Structures are given as C-alpha cells and as structure tokens.
Structure 1
Amino acid sequence: MNSCNFWELLRSRYSELTRSGRRVADYLTRHAEEAQYLSISSLAAECGVAEATIFRFCRSLGFDGYNEMKISLAQANAIPTAAGADKLEPGADTATLCTHASAVALEAINGTRSVLNPEAIDAAATLLQRARQVFCFGQGGSQILANDIWARFATVSTKFRTAGDSHMQTIAASLMVPEDVVLFISYSGSTRDMMETLRIVKGNGAKVILLTHYADAPGTALADVVLLCGAKESPLDGGSIAAKIAVLFVAEVLVLRFTLDNQELAAIARERTSKALAPKLL
C-alpha cells in the first residue's frame, strides 16, 4: 500500500493524470467524505467515466486497486466513526458513548428502512417458500451473520442449511439443483470467493438472494433478488456493529414475511422446537 498521505500524493501526481483522471481527482477533492463509501461503479457514475478509468487512476497514484485507494482516502479523511455521527472526543464519558451508539444504531435501521424494497422482500420470501433447500452463506464476519439468520429460520423449517468456509460453500454449491436457493450475505457484494460460489450456484440453475449494501455491486448481476441494507461503513471500520444491525434488520423482515405466509406450519414448528429446548434451561 502506498504510505504517502492521500492528498499529498494526489497533489504531487495531479499534473501527470489524464483528463478523465483529473475529473476523478476533482470529484474526490470536492466529495472526499462521501466518496469513501462509494463502490467503484458508483464513483465511476458520479464522475461520468468508465470503471476502467477509476482503476487506471488508482494505479497512477501507486495503488494496487480501488479498495487500497479507498482505504488511503478514508485514512486521510480521519473519520473512523460511522457516517453521520458526531466524532467522539477522546475524553467522552460512558453516557455519551451510550447516546452515540444509540444514534448510530437508529441511523442504520432508518437508513435501511428507506432503501429496503417491500416487493423485493415478497419476491425473496416466495423463493424461500418454493425452495427444496435454502443455504445461508457469507464470508468472514458475514458468515457469522449468515449463521445467525440460518438459526432464526431453523426454528420453523428444516430446509434451511448453512456451510463452513468458502471451500465448503463451493462444495455445497456444486451439488445444488434448480429447486435450491442461496441467501448470500455480503455487505460489499464484491468479494472473489462470493462471485466464484454464486457462478457455480447459477450454473446449476439454483436461485440467489443477495443481501448487500451496494445496488450496483458485481454480485447483483448474479442475483435473482437483491435486498439492500442502508448502513454506511467506512473502509477503516469494517465489520461495524451498525452494518450488522442493518443486515439483521433486513433478515428479520424476511423472517416475518416467511412465517406470516406460513402461519400454521410456523406455529407448530416453534411449539415443537420450544418444547425440545425447554429442558436445557436451568
């Protein structure tokens, strides 16, 4: 990674940039804070250039790719906290931290509510109802969320599944059939392992529901249904609780839709699972 300060680097290389490269540089200068949350597709659209131009711009500054450039930009902006929240002072007391965390959580939920399409939830729930098996996948921190979502659905149906790391997910994907569905959790929607797994899933004719933040993420091209979460996450704050809250909010809406559409079966299943778990409590 280039160790120079992003703005110093941009100033020193500005005269060497192409006309389209300068257009990107000018946009970043004017919209520094917002730009750190944009996908490469979104930044290209805002600048009126091709994605390849953004990539060449990053390489001209000495970065290996877009994500490395975005991290450097975020470091230069020095905003480690969630978007829209007041920056915390080092001496802030715990009561202030509680207020801050509450504001961030509410912002994540409200932001998600504003971008979540009810019709997409309905379409996703229909896929779940018709599926032979539903696999809840994710990678890294998103895999933990996928497991949480699987556990929630597992109380009402045995057709929900999960898998281990990306290797095990690839194995599961290779054995899927058209009646299967994958619910994939990926905030960025643009990881290599995710794309590889989804290509195998689609190659077998199975359906894909993608839960992500970016409507223009590469993974959306392989999804039958896209569910959006609205929490913004800085490149310096990966795995933030706010983003997790946003993802789980979407998942809870999907669970509610699924169970309400299958009220009788869901009620019987929850009665049985609750009865089975009761002896395990002290």
Structure 2
Amino acid sequence: MTQTNMLTMIGEALDGLNRSERKVAEVILADPQTATRSSIAVLAKAAQVSEPTVNRFCKRFNVKGFPDFKLTLAQSLAGGVPYVNRHVEPDDSAENYTPKIIDATIAALVYAKEKLNPAVVNLAVDQLIQAKQIFFYGLGASGPVAQDAQHKFFRFNIPVNAYDDVLMQRMVASSCGTGDVIVTISYTGRTRETIEVAELARASGATVIGITAPDSPLAACCSVVLGVDAPEDTDVYMPMTSRTVHLSIIDVLATGVTLRRGPDFLGHLKKIKDSLKATRHERQGSDT
C-alpha cells in the first residue's frame, strides 16, 4: 500500500462500509492530521462508535491494528503537492486528480453535516432575522464567500454588505451598535486582523457570528460560533474544501432566514426572479 493510497482507499471504501465504520472513515477523512495524533479512545469518541469498531475499521486496510494504521496514515500526509492539494500527486492526470478533488469535497461536506449543531444554526438565524443591518467579512479565500453571502442576503429586505478589505472592516465595525450583525468568515480563525476586527465589533455592541474553526482565537471573540473544521491545512495547501464548506454554511443560514420569513415572503423572492426573465433567452423546447 502506498502512502497516498491509504486516504484514497478510505474514500473509495465509503459506500461499502456499515454505518458505524463509515462514521470512523468520515472523521478520519475530515481531519486526518488529528486522527494521526489521536488515541483509539479519542477517535472512537469523535466518531461516536466503540473502540472495537475503530480497530475493525483499521484492519480493513491491510494493517495490523490501530497503531499501524496511524503510522500509514501519517505517512500519507507527507504526500500531495505542496501549495496545491494534499490528495494530488505531481504525476496525476485529469483522470486521477478530478475524482480526488471531488471526493475530498464530498467527505468534507459530510463531516460538516455531522458536526454542525442545529441549535447553533437556529441561534445564528435568530440574530440574522432580527438584525438592523448585516455585514459579511472575509479576507483572502474567505472574501468570495462573504461576497456570495451578500448576493443571497440582499433578498431579505435587510441592509447588507460584504467587505474583504481590513480597513473597511475596521471602520464599519467601529461604527456598529446594538442590533447590527457582523458575520466573520475565517477557516483558520488565526488571522490577527480578523480577530482584532471581531473584538472591535463586539466592543461597539454588535453581534458577531463566526464561521470558523471551533476553539480558535477568532471563535473566542464571537457571540455565536458556527464551528466546523474542514480537512485542509491552508498553511500549506490551496483553500478548496474549506471554502466549499463555508459556502454551504452560508446556504444553510440563507435558507433558515427564508423559512423564518414565512410563505408570504415567497412573493417577494418570486418578484426578484421574475426581474431576470427579460435578460435570458428561452430554453430550447420550452413553451414559456
């Protein structure tokens, strides 16, 4: 078994695993680095399964047991192409790297689904639905996620804007007050400027919702934390799965706000959609 094959084989085996073993696989795929540092008891707890289940899962991959599995997994993390993606090898063809990237994204989304707390989602939606105005903040790769959030939330008749410039973020945060909501997006939660802006916003009286790593310095500054770790070391690799997970969380929040508005609000959303009809060619074969 080669180094890269360990992660690849776990992904390929997902559909054939029973429910308990699949939980183990999803936890490992979501954060293989943490898995290499975990005891069998810690990994079993994270996956919400028994220790024998973890051991049985490991032996599926031609290793002697959990310690041997961790060693092989750790070796696999040394693979990949630095500054690109840890799942991809330098000699991969399109036939190889295309499914690898998509499978890694699917695994990250499944992990996020399991870890995202519905109670915290409801709390975040509570704040957003009552907001006087909403600002989405993101730097670097999180900037486009903030822009996507603005694109969705402008529909809700709440003043909304997105900023990916730290000076604008600071100025807006300092001018906020009670009833204003800032949603700050950061995969690592360790960017100094992002943390400083969150602290400034809280000091101004704003509610700060963090879409970030749980237990990160940024999370400690937020009023509400939607904490999900994505299986990606962005200190080394290009942001991919982490960005996709955050986009999905924005979709979850936008859906929550829409549903809270109730059925009477659907007419407003239809009006926005109808405004685009004149800009598009009709579909071929369509009667409308």
Q: TM-score, normalised by structure 2?
A: 0.66
1:118 and 2:118 matched = yes
Report how far residue 255 of structure 1 moved: 1.2
Aligned-partner SS, 1:261: helix
Report how far residue 154 of structure 1 moved: 1.5
Aligned residue for 1:229? Answer: 228
AA matched with 2:230: A
Extract unaligned runs of 5+ from structure 1: 1-31, 39-73
Contact 1:154–1:160 at 8 Å: present in 2 too?
Answer: yes
1:143 and 2:143 matched = yes
Aligned-partner SS, 2:229: coil
1:247 and 2:246 matched = yes
Report how far residue 172 of structure 1 moved: 0.8
Report how far residue 200 of structure 1 moved: 1.4
Q: 1:103 to 1:81 in 2, by over 3 A?
A: farther
Aligned residue for 1:182? Answer: 182
Provide the identity percentage: 25
Report how far residue 37 of structure 1 moved: 10
Deviation digits for residues 164-209 of structure 1, max 9, x if unmatched? 4010111111111111000110111121111221111111111010
Aligned residue for 1:95? Answer: 95
Deviation digits for residues 5-32 of structure 1, max 9, x if unmatched? xxxxxxxxxxxxxxxxxxxxxxxxxxx9
Deviation digits for residues 126-155 of structure 1, max 9, x if unmatched? 000111001111111111111111111123
Q: 1:134 to 1:86 in 2, by over 3 A?
A: closer
Report how far residue 99 of structure 1 moved: 1.8
The 2-side partners of 1:199 and 1:146 are apart by: 19
Deviation digits for residues 36-83 of structure 1, max 9, x if unmatched? 999xxxxxxxxxxxxxxxxxxxxxxxxxxxxxxxxxxx9x9633469x
Report how far residue 33 of structure 1 moved: 4.1
Q: 1:207 to 1:236 in 2, by over 3 A?
A: closer
Aligned residue for 2:208? Answer: 208
Q: 1:200 to 1:131 in 2, by over 3 A?
A: same
Q: TM-score, normalised by structure 1?
A: 0.67
AA matched with 1:140: G
Report how far residue 230 of structure 1 moved: 3.3
AA matched with 1:244: R
AA matched with 2:176: M
